[in-house]
Chain A
Amino acid sequence: MPLLKVEGLGKLYDGETKVLRDVNFEVEAGEFLSIIGPSGAGKSTLLRCINRMVEISEGKVIFDDLDVGEMRKKELRKLRTNIGMIFQHYNLVPRLTVIENVLHGRFGYKSTLQGVFARFTEEEKERAFFLLDKLGIAEHAYKRCDQLSGGQQQRVGICRALIQEPKLILCDEPIASLDPNSSKVIMDYLKQISTEMGITCLVNLHQVDVAKEYADRIIGLKKGEIVFDGPSKLLYEDQIENIYGIETRELITV
């Protein structure tokens, strides 16, 4: 049984233009999957339909045998605890400490009062330190997040997602704001998470070569439609040209 099943997914923001149209794919538990495509292809929208940060217009998203589109408020919160999310701009609360930001990942499991008064258990705090240590930033635990570099902040973002104990992690261009070195560090950690912890990863990427290097499988999105879906090693030059359009490829290589 696949962990995630997307069936005939369509999305309209304004009732006219279809940002996604008839998107179908399945993801098995433990897969490391990358979604590539030009700007505006609908990659971010696709990810946000999976944890319903945006409403689904057509079709179905089935996660862990549950229909995401049908969920009500409480079930939706439960779903989101099972799906971690990582962002291009990290989206941490800059004035809070690293450890506080990591523990934000536990709010999905808390009642309103527990969360408001930040009642975290000792195990949760220990787990937070364990994860920070795993990502090599335990020494910064009590620093304010705005004092960290971009790469370090992204690692805090990963810790925040991991402490949710998710089955799936959605990454929306996790390395688009980072230099090549930090990018490699982040991608290595993501890969490590998926192989060691068996967490499924869906990663939006702009860099085709990075996608080919890290992902088991690649989905190519173009104008809201899937134009490629297959193992990374089968993504050849002509398919890349098809996804991005020949003109843009030439622009980059020249």
Chain B
Amino acid sequence: METSQAMNQALMKRKRNGQINIKSGNKIDSAVKWTIWVLTVLTVISFFFFDYTGLQLERAITETAHNLRVMFLEPGLSHFGWGEAFYQVGITLGLGVLATVFGAIIALFLSLMAAENLSKPWLSKTIRIIVAFIRAVPTVLWVLIFAIAAGLGSEAAVLGMLFHSVAYLVKAFSEAIEEVNPGIIEALRATGSSWWHIVVHGVLPSTFTYLLSWTFLRFEINFSVAVAMGAAAGAGGIGFELFMASGFYFDLREVGFITYAILIIAIVLEVISTRLKNRYFPSSVKA
């Protein structure tokens, strides 16, 4: 009894004031703590270095409030009608669908080569590294890179979104494929099935719902990216109208209207994808 007490004493970590520590106190914890502290201090300090000339706080606040009120309480269309609005939303959705569908198809083939249980180690590693690199570069940058060749516009936007979608989906798909029970693959292999038989009749039936859910998740992302690309890369659609309404006509009512339109679609997509997730994803992937 006494020896075990002594053992525990030796194992316990104490804070400087003598209390027993319940965090393991590893390097990562303290690094996170320090980062947060430094950032907080820097933020506070930076407030003292802003250029405040010409700022009338009172006027700024009332005008902002007024603008926001006009935007969100009195939304309306002035430069184009409802039909045009729907058409532009349709274009943005179209950009998203195009990038997602093509992305999913390409990603499916690549993920079969990237999944360790279906592929050779060197091939799977190569694809993973390339795909990780593509994912690390933001979509907007890919769009701008493709704009060099295709010119700013919807082509560059779709290509850039496609590129990033493929990279994202290859990772998601190949991980889903690797979750397939190895016994299923073994059993099919033992009947003399070829690789394609195993993929089509063993792997795909077991993962199809995951793949579909991931694709939809990506569509949700692609929709918001398509809105941003409309403005940033001149890809057209509702994002471009938003850009024109705010930066060109200073039409706050229209900005409000467009924002609501985007919000509603985003909510619809979010609801559908949450349902899909709850229904088809195992709890391990949900997080």
Q: Do chains A and B interact in one complex?
A: yes
Residues 5-44 of B, flagged 1 when their CB comes within 8 A of A and 0 if not, give 0000000000000000000000000000000000000000
Shortest distance from the beta carbon of B119 to any chain A beta carbon, whole Å:
16
Shortest distance from the beta carbon of B101 to any chain A beta carbon, whole Å:
22
Number of cross-chain contacts by CB at 8 Å: 86
Structural contact, A91 and B189, CB atoms closer than 8 A: no
Structural contact, B186 and A107, CB atoms closer than 8 A: no
A53-B186, A87-B183, A87-B186 as given contacts; A116 in contact with B192, CB under 8 Å: no
Residues of A within 8 A of B187 (CB): 85, 87, 91-92, 104, 157, 160
Bound-state CA distance A94–B207 (Å) is 11
Structural contact, A115 and B189, CB atoms closer than 8 A: no
Q: Of B184, B190, B196, B205, which is in contact with the most chain A CB atoms at under 10 Å from its CB?
A: B190
Q: Of A96, A100, A108, A110, which is in contact with the most chain B CB atoms at under 10 Å from its CB?
A: A108
The tally of residues in A whose CB lies under 8 Å from a CB in B reads 36
A53-B186, A89-B183, A93-B206 as given contacts; A80 in contact with B192, CB under 8 Å: yes
Structural contact, B191 and A81, CB atoms closer than 8 A: yes
A93-B201, A96-B205, A115-B197 as given contacts; A105 in contact with B191, CB under 8 Å: yes
Bound-state CA distance A112–B196 (Å) is 7
Structural contact, B205 and A107, CB atoms closer than 8 A: no
The tally of residues in B whose CB lies under 8 Å from a CB in A reads 19
Verify if A204 is at the interface (C-beta below 8 Å from B): no
Verify if A78 is at the interface (C-beta below 8 Å from B): yes
Bound-state CA distance A204–B81 (Å) is 75
Bound-state CA distance A92–B183 (Å) is 8
Bound-state CA distance A112–B194 (Å) is 7
Shortest distance from the beta carbon of A174 to any chain B beta carbon, whole Å:
13
Residue in A closest to B185 when the chains form the complex, CB atoms: A91
Residues of B within 8 A of A53 (CB): 186, 189-190
Bound-state CA distance A76–B189 (Å) is 10
Shortest distance from the beta carbon of B20 to any chain A beta carbon, whole Å:
42
A91-B181, A91-B186, A112-B197 as given contacts; A80 in contact with B205, CB under 8 Å: no
Residues of B within 8 A of A106 (CB): 191
Verify if B188 is at the interface (C-beta below 8 Å from A): yes
Residue in B closest to A100 when the chains form the complex, CB atoms: B201
Verify if B202 is at the interface (C-beta below 8 Å from A): yes
Residues of A within 8 A of B181 (CB): 91
Residues of A within 8 A of B206 (CB): 93-95
Bound-state CA distance A95–B192 (Å) is 21
Q: Of A107, A110, A115, A164, which is in contact with the most chain B CB atoms at under 10 Å from its CB?
A: A107
Residue in A closest to B183 when the chains form the complex, CB atoms: A91
Residues of B within 8 A of A157 (CB): 187
Residues of A within 8 A of B202 (CB): 93, 104
Verify if A197 is at the interface (C-beta below 8 Å from B): no
Verify if B200 is at the interface (C-beta below 8 Å from A): yes
Interface set of A (CB-CB < 8 Å, partner B): 51, 53, 76-81, 83-85, 87, 89-96, 100, 104-110, 112, 115-116, 118, 157, 160-161, 164
What would be 30 A-B contacts, judged by CB atoms less than 8 Å apart?
A: A51-B190, A77-B192, A78-B192, A80-B190, A81-B191, A81-B192, A84-B190, A84-B191, A85-B187, A85-B190, A87-B183, A89-B183, A91-B184, A93-B202, A93-B205, A95-B206, A96-B201, A96-B205, A104-B193, A104-B202, A107-B188, A107-B194, A108-B193, A112-B197, A115-B200, A116-B196, A116-B197, A116-B201, A160-B187, A164-B192
Extra contacts, 19 of them, besides A80-B189, A108-B192, A109-B192 (Cβ < 8 A), are A51-B190, A78-B192, A79-B192, A81-B192, A85-B190, A87-B186, A91-B183, A91-B184, A92-B187, A93-B184, A93-B202, A105-B191, A112-B196, A112-B197, A115-B193, A115-B194, A115-B197, A115-B201, A160-B187
Interface set of B (CB-CB < 8 Å, partner A): 181, 183-184, 186-194, 196-197, 200-202, 205-206
